[in-house]
Amino acid sequence: MNTIFLYDTTLREGNQAEEISFSLEDKLRITVQLDNLGVHFIEGGWPTSNPKDMQYFKEIRLYSLKNSTVVAFGSTARPGVPVADDKNLNDLIEAQTQAVTIFGKAWDTHVHEVLKIGLDQNLKLIEESIRYLKQHIPNVFFDAEHFFDGYKVNPDYTIKVLQHAITGGADGVILCDTNGGTLPFEVTQIIASVKEQIQAPLGIHAHNDSDVAVANTLTAVQQGCIQVQGAINGYGERCGNANLCSVIPNLQIKMGVGCVSDEQLRKLSEVSRFVNELANLAPSKHQPFVGSSAFAHKAGVHVSAVKKRPETYEHITPELVGGTQRILVSDQAGKANILQKAKEFGLDVASHDPLVQEILFDLKELERQGFQFEGAEASFELRMRQALGMKKRYFDLAGFRVIVEKKQEEESLSEATIMVRVGGRIEHTAAIGNGPVNALDNALRKALEKFYPGLKHVALIDYKVRVFSIGKGTGSRVRVLVESGDKREKWGTVGVSENIIEASWQALADSITYKLLKDEQQGAPG
């Protein structure tokens, strides 16, 4: 079977899910992770829908992606508007991507009731829109929206929709189960019929409203679809899209269909957690393949069997997808992860070094307290260096105080006072900010910049807070995730406490320490 092309929709449809709103920086960071995973196409957004998406397409041009092609998304031209004058189509061209995807109506009910135009006019819109885009963009894909629902009531018309898209020059037509109501046996029957009439490359876009999006996607591949669309962790409208974290390993391991390399497949769990963290959502422990409980076993018959032969209760080897076997009574997994991270950080650690076990124990204890290092790799590197006796102290905190003042009819004012010690010298200063964390960040850098001028180039890019204690209300523990950056790179740090300011301090202090460490390693002022 030929290689399957992975098409990720996390940044658009995933971003449309309830409770998710990726920032521009989030989308750029996720793009890099998807590229590392080996995803072939990354749908970056809809340029016409909002300024953030258009800015994304400008920013992503500055990145050198190794494996992925960024795709802009939009619709066919509006009825009654010449294609050359249609803003949506011209915004797609302005995005300057090597590929675009446009959707058009494949269900006659939508043509009549939503677009309120004739069936032939809809066919003309689809064909002319694609032909116009093909004059400017190398690859144009057509999403046949509501294809399966349309086929069930008017198969002849849905086939005409595909034929007109192909006549317009579409490089592939994607069969969309937009309402998520189609079942696998129907997918098999309908795609088999389509292939008798359509010769162009086919793709599948399945929603999960009937909880079979992954099954429908795998079934479509069996029937000959070569492009599979979905999202990391299954994010998307309503009940979500096909979950690529399940689709990819099922294709690669179970069906023997090549889509990523073995090395890239081992990044799957890490990418899943990374996207969860930036979405500011608690990961599902029980998510297949990548959830923390996916290969977890409690005491009893299961543990006894799995220690002798793992395959007795594990359908794949966990390490294939970047996971680990977990014995919940006495967790013995994780050593390989520590050694891999040490290698990534350029730290020379032998597998038999007792410090590895010490680092692992420290990591488990921090996780118990609420720390999580996906999206906060800088904090984890600093903790590893500390355990290895390699962490330099660039400054010490003597104390800080943060005051928030609110007067009637006036905006609140935040002021932070901080005292730090650098090489035996005390620096005492204060700063204001648009919030207590911003004030603390300003005060810390103000105190340190005279010693370390490179800190002037550091910017606090993003700040997220997650409450993870249950039932304690405002006394809950919180995890603060901070993203910082300078002219060279971006990095994430984390802090945990019942006090949000203390948690923020931990993340900010790690961020500054990491910056100073990298400047020293590179012999640059930052």
Q: pLDDT, tens digit, for every residue of 118-147?
A: 999 999 999 999 999 999 999 999 999 999
Residue 485 lies in a domain: yes
Q: Pick 187 or 338 by higher pLDDT.
A: 187
Last residue of a domain, one of 279, 313, 329: 279
CATH at residue 421: 3.30.160
Q: How confident is the model at residue 64 (pLDDT cuts 50, 70, 90)?
A: very high
Q: Are residues 33 and 106 in the same domain?
A: yes
Mean pLDDT, range 329-345, rounded to an integer? 61
Q: Pick 424 or 182 by higher pLDDT.
A: 182
What does the alpha-carbon distance between residue 26 and residue 15 come to, in Å, rounded to a whole number? 11
Residue 291 lies in a domain: no
Beta carbons of 280 and 467 less than 8 angstroms apart: no
Residue 66 lies in a domain: yes
- For every residue of 145-171, which 3-state class applies, written as one string? ECHHHHHHHCHHHHHHHHHHHHHHCCC
Which one-letter amino acid corresponds to residue 289? F
Q: In terms of residue numbers, what domain contains 425?
A: 395-451
pLDDT at 452 over 50: yes
Residue 51 lies in a domain: yes
CATH at residue 198: 3.20.20.70
pLDDT tens digit sequence for 454-484: 999 998 888 999 887 656 666 788 999 999 9
Residue 319 lies in a domain: no
Q: How confident is the model at residue 526 (pLDDT cuts 50, 70, 90)?
A: very low
Q: Are residues 43 and 119 in the same domain?
A: yes
Q: What sign for the dihedral angle of Cα 182, 185, 186, 188?
A: positive
Beta carbons of 77 and 303 less than 8 angstroms apart: no
Q: Are residues 518 and 466 in the same domain?
A: yes
pLDDT tens digit sequence for 342-371: 887 888 888 788 888 888 888 878 888 888
Beta carbons of 484 and 491 less than 8 angstroms apart: yes
Q: Pick 308 or 8 by higher pLDDT.
A: 8
Q: Are residues 209 and 356 in the same domain?
A: no
Q: Which residues pair with 303 in a beta bridge?
A: none
Q: Are residues 402 and 475 in the same domain?
A: no
The per-residue pLDDT of the chain, averaged, comes to: 91
Residue 294 lies in a domain: no
Q: How confident is the model at residue 298 (pLDDT cuts 50, 70, 90)?
A: low
Q: Are residues 436 and 520 in the same domain?
A: no
| CB neighbours of residue 305 within 10 Å | 14
CATH at residue 516: 3.30.160.340
Q: Structurally, how many domains does the chain consist of? A: 3
Q: Are residues 192 and 258 in the same domain?
A: yes
What does the alpha-carbon distance between residue 247 and residue 229 come to, in Å, rounded to a whole number? 10
- What percentage of the chain reaches a pLDDT higher than 90? 73
Residue 524 lies in a domain: yes
Q: Are residues 436 and 507 in the same domain?
A: no
What does the alpha-carbon distance between residue 144 and residue 205 come to, in Å, rounded to a whole number? 9
Residue closest to 180 by CA, chosen among 151, 150, 216 = 216
pLDDT tens digit sequence for 219-263: 999 999 999 999 999 999 999 999 999 999 999 999 999 899 999
Q: Are residues 386 and 435 in the same domain?
A: no
Last residue of a domain, one of 245, 279, 313: 279
Q: Are residues 32 and 48 in the same domain?
A: yes
Contacts of 228 (CB under 8 A, 6+ apart): 4, 5, 6, 7, 203, 204, 217, 220, 221, 242, 244, 247, 251, 259
Last residue of a domain, one of 279, 303, 326: 279
Q: Are residues 387 and 399 in the same domain?
A: no
What does the alpha-carbon distance between residue 491 and residue 511 come to, in Å, rounded to a whole number? 8
Residue 336 lies in a domain: no
Q: Are residues 382 and 400 in the same domain?
A: no
